[in-house]
Structure 1
Amino acid sequence: MYVVGVGLRRGTGEADLDALVAAVLAEAGIGHERVTALATLEGKEAETAVTATCERYGWELRIFRADTLAAVPVPAPEIRVARAVGTPSVAEAAALAGAGVRAELIVGKRRSARATAALARVTALEEAPG
C-alpha cells in the first residue's frame, strides 16, 4: 500500500498535479492502482486538483492539521514552508502520516511549478486497539 502526499498552491491545475504525481509514481516504478490514498494539509481538500485526482484514481483523501504534520520527522524540512502554512513539510509529512505507523518514504519531495509530491509505503499494518 502506498500513499501520495501533496502540497500545492491555491488554484493549482489538475494537469499540473496529475503530471507531478505520475512522475513520482514512475520514479518509484509503481502504478496508480497500488496507491490507496492522497494525503495533504487541512485546507487543501477543497482544491479541484486534489479532489479530481482522488476521484480519477479512486483514492481516499486523508487530511492532516499543520501541527500533526509538523510533528512528523522528514528529510527535507523548510523554514519558508513553516512560516507560510505552519509546518516545515507538507508533501513528505503528509505521505508519511497518511501511510501510518512504520511508514517508509519511497520518493522524497519532488516539485512542479505549483505543487510538491512525495510517496510513502506502509511497512507494517497498525494494530487494532485491544
Structure 2
Amino acid sequence: MTTIGSEGSVSSAIGELVVGVGCRPGVAAAVIVAAVREIVGESEIRCLATIDRRAGEDGMVAAARELGVPVLGFAAAELAEVEVPSPGERVRAAVGTASVAEAAAISAVVRIFGAGRIVVPKTTVAGTTIAVAAGGQTQVPPRSMA
C-alpha cells in the first residue's frame, strides 16, 4: 500500500518509487535532494527521471549520486506522448512537452516495471517540481500505454 504521510512523505510497503523532476537549468543538487526528501522522506527510490536536457546537468547528476540512484533522461517528444494528470501549457511552451516531472516519472516506471501509476502528482518545492510514480505490485497500466 502506498500512502502519503502526515508530513507529506511517501511510504511504500508494496511497490517501488521513481521520482520525476522538473527544474530550471542550473539547479543545485542540494535543492533537488531537499525537494525529493520533502516529498518521499527516507523512502527508497529507484531513480530520478527528467527531460534529457536536464539529465546530464551537474546539479541533477550530483543529486542522483547523493541519493544513490541513476538519472533517466527522456526526450521532450517522448514525454509529450504521456498522458498526465496535471499538464501545463507554460512548460509545453518552454520545453516542448506539457509535463516533465509527471511524464518522466510515468516513463521511468514503465521502463523499469512495465507499468505503474502516479502516487504523488506534481508538487513544487523550492522551485523544483517533483512527481512520484510507483511500480511493482502497485502497478496499473498508465492510460497512454493501455
* Fold match by TM threshold 0.5: yes
- Residue equivalent to 1:112: 125
Where do 5+ consecutive residues of structure 2 fail to align?
Answer: 1-15, 140-146
What is the identity, as a one-letter code, of the residue corresponding to 1:110? T
Aligned length: 121
Alignment root-mean-square deviation, CA: 1.8
After the TM superposition, which residues 51-130 of structure 1 pair with which residues of structure 2 at under 5 Å, given as runs?
51-100=61-110, 101-122=114-135, 123-124=138-139
2:37 alignment counterpart: 22
Q: Displacement, 1:68?
A: 0.7
Runs of 4+ in 1 over 4 A off after TM superposition: none
Deviations 1:66-117 (A, max 9, x none): 0111111111100110010000000000001000132110111111343111
Which residue of 47, 56, 67 maps to 1:37?
Answer: 47
TM-score with structure 2 setting the length: 0.76
Residues of 1 paired with 2:125 and 2:68: CA distance? 23
Q: Which runs of no fewer than 5 residues in structure 1 stay unpaired?
A: 125-130
AA aligned opposite 1:62: L
Aligned partner of 2:18 in structure 1 is 3
Structure 1 residue 10 displacement after superposition: 0.8
> Which residue identity does 1:104 align to in structure 2?
R
Q: Which residue identity is paired with 2:57?
A: E
Contact 1:70 1:89 in 2 (8 A): yes
Aligned AA for 1:94? A
Conservation of the 8 A alpha-carbon contact between 1:7 and 1:41: yes
Counterpart of 1:24, as a letter, is I
Q: TM-score, normalised by structure 1?
A: 0.85
8 Å Cα contact 1:14-1:49 kept in structure 2: yes
